[in-house]
Amino acid sequence: MQRIILFDGICNFCSSSVQFIIKRDPDLKFQFASLQSNEGKQLLIEHQISTDMDSMVLIEKGCVYTKSTAALRIAKELNGAYQLLLVFLVIPKPVRDIFYTILAKNRYRWFGKKEQCMIPKPEDKQRFLDT
Protein backbone atom coordinates (compact mmCIF):
# COMPACT_ATOMS: atom_id res chain seq x y z
CA MET A 1 0.00 0.00 0.00
CA GLN A 2 1.31 3.42 -0.89
CA ARG A 3 1.57 5.95 1.92
CA ILE A 4 2.90 9.36 0.96
CA ILE A 5 3.94 12.02 3.42
CA LEU A 6 4.01 15.61 2.16
CA PHE A 7 6.18 17.88 4.27
CA ASP A 8 7.61 21.40 4.29
CA GLY A 9 11.03 20.81 2.76
CA ILE A 10 12.59 24.04 4.04
CA CYS A 11 11.41 23.62 7.65
CA ASN A 12 14.13 22.26 9.93
CA PHE A 13 11.57 20.62 12.26
CA CYS A 14 9.73 19.00 9.34
CA SER A 15 12.95 17.69 7.79
CA SER A 16 14.00 16.29 11.17
CA SER A 17 10.59 14.65 11.48
CA VAL A 18 11.09 12.96 8.10
CA GLN A 19 14.49 11.65 9.24
CA PHE A 20 12.86 10.41 12.47
CA ILE A 21 10.25 8.52 10.43
CA ILE A 22 12.82 7.03 8.04
CA LYS A 23 14.85 5.62 10.95
CA ARG A 24 11.77 3.92 12.38
CA ASP A 25 10.34 2.66 9.09
CA PRO A 26 12.66 -0.15 7.99
CA ASP A 27 9.87 -1.77 5.96
CA LEU A 28 9.70 1.31 3.70
CA LYS A 29 5.99 1.88 4.31
CA PHE A 30 6.29 5.61 3.61
CA GLN A 31 7.36 7.69 0.64
CA PHE A 32 7.98 11.42 0.86
CA ALA A 33 7.59 14.57 -1.19
CA SER A 34 8.17 18.15 -0.15
CA LEU A 35 5.27 20.55 -0.46
CA GLN A 36 7.53 22.77 -2.59
CA SER A 37 8.33 20.06 -5.16
CA ASN A 38 6.49 19.57 -8.44
CA GLU A 39 5.31 16.16 -7.22
CA GLY A 40 4.13 17.61 -3.92
CA LYS A 41 2.24 20.41 -5.65
CA GLN A 42 0.66 17.91 -8.05
CA LEU A 43 -0.49 15.70 -5.17
CA LEU A 44 -2.03 18.73 -3.45
CA ILE A 45 -4.00 19.49 -6.61
CA GLU A 46 -5.00 15.85 -7.22
CA HIS A 47 -6.32 15.48 -3.68
CA GLN A 48 -7.87 18.97 -3.55
CA ILE A 49 -5.68 20.09 -0.66
CA SER A 50 -5.06 23.78 -0.11
CA THR A 51 -1.72 24.86 -1.57
CA ASP A 52 -1.02 27.04 1.49
CA MET A 53 -0.98 23.96 3.72
CA ASP A 54 1.11 24.40 6.87
CA SER A 55 0.74 20.81 7.99
CA MET A 56 2.39 17.50 7.31
CA VAL A 57 0.00 15.60 5.05
CA LEU A 58 -0.47 11.84 4.88
CA ILE A 59 -2.07 10.35 1.78
CA GLU A 60 -3.06 6.75 2.45
CA LYS A 61 -5.45 4.56 0.42
CA GLY A 62 -6.67 7.68 -1.39
CA CYS A 63 -7.58 9.39 1.89
CA VAL A 64 -5.94 12.60 3.08
CA TYR A 65 -4.99 13.17 6.71
CA THR A 66 -3.56 16.39 8.10
CA LYS A 67 -2.30 17.85 11.34
CA SER A 68 -2.54 15.66 14.45
CA THR A 69 -4.45 12.90 12.66
CA ALA A 70 -1.67 12.56 10.09
CA ALA A 71 0.98 12.49 12.83
CA LEU A 72 -0.87 9.83 14.82
CA ARG A 73 -1.55 7.64 11.76
CA ILE A 74 2.14 7.85 10.85
CA ALA A 75 3.14 6.94 14.43
CA LYS A 76 0.89 3.88 14.21
CA GLU A 77 3.08 2.44 11.43
CA LEU A 78 6.49 3.06 13.04
CA ASN A 79 8.62 0.49 14.82
CA GLY A 80 8.69 0.88 18.57
CA ALA A 81 6.09 1.95 21.09
CA TYR A 82 4.82 4.82 18.94
CA GLN A 83 1.57 2.93 18.29
CA LEU A 84 0.66 3.76 21.89
CA LEU A 85 0.19 7.37 20.80
CA LEU A 86 -3.04 6.28 19.10
CA VAL A 87 -4.74 6.67 22.46
CA PHE A 88 -4.79 10.41 21.66
CA LEU A 89 -7.32 9.73 18.89
CA VAL A 90 -9.99 9.67 21.62
CA ILE A 91 -9.38 13.40 22.07
CA PRO A 92 -11.57 15.36 19.65
CA LYS A 93 -9.65 16.47 16.56
CA PRO A 94 -10.23 20.21 17.13
CA VAL A 95 -8.64 19.93 20.59
CA ARG A 96 -5.68 17.84 19.31
CA ASP A 97 -5.15 20.23 16.43
CA ILE A 98 -4.82 23.27 18.74
CA PHE A 99 -1.39 22.02 19.81
CA TYR A 100 -0.42 21.01 16.27
CA THR A 101 -1.43 24.44 14.94
CA ILE A 102 0.64 26.26 17.56
CA LEU A 103 3.70 24.21 16.59
CA ALA A 104 3.04 24.66 12.84
CA LYS A 105 2.63 28.42 13.09
CA ASN A 106 5.85 28.82 15.10
CA ARG A 107 8.03 26.16 13.43
CA TYR A 108 10.29 28.58 11.54
CA ARG A 109 10.79 30.83 14.55
CA TRP A 110 11.49 27.94 16.95
CA PHE A 111 13.43 25.59 14.68
CA GLY A 112 14.55 27.73 11.73
CA LYS A 113 14.37 27.05 8.03
CA LYS A 114 16.69 26.24 5.17
CA GLU A 115 17.32 28.22 2.01
CA GLN A 116 16.47 25.16 -0.08
CA CYS A 117 14.59 21.92 0.38
CA MET A 118 16.14 19.04 2.26
CA ILE A 119 18.32 16.77 0.14
CA PRO A 120 17.86 13.12 1.11
CA LYS A 121 20.80 10.88 1.91
CA PRO A 122 21.80 8.66 -1.05
CA GLU A 123 20.52 5.54 0.73
CA ASP A 124 17.09 7.18 1.21
CA LYS A 125 16.65 8.71 -2.27
CA GLN A 126 14.33 5.96 -3.52
CA ARG A 127 11.82 6.96 -0.81
CA PHE A 128 11.44 10.50 -2.16
CA LEU A 129 9.12 11.15 -5.07
CA ASP A 130 10.82 14.42 -5.98
CA THR A 131 14.45 13.36 -6.43
Smallest CA-to-CA distance from 52 within 111, 113, 3, 6 is with 6
The pLDDT, as a whole number, for residue 39 is: 93
Backbone angles phi, psi at 61, to 5 degrees: 50, 40
Q: Indicate if the pLDDT at residue 82 is higher than 60.
A: yes
Q: Which residue in 6, 102, 20 sits closest to 56, CA to CA?
A: 6
What residues contact 27, with CB distance under 8 A and at least 6 apart? none
Predicted TM-score (pTM) of this structure: 0.88
Percentage of the chain lying above the pLDDT 70 cut:
98
Task: Give the tens place of pLDDT for each residue, 29-80.
Answer: 999 999 989 999 999 999 998 877 778 999 999 899 999 999 999 999 998 8
Checking if the pLDDT of 14 tops 60, the result is: yes
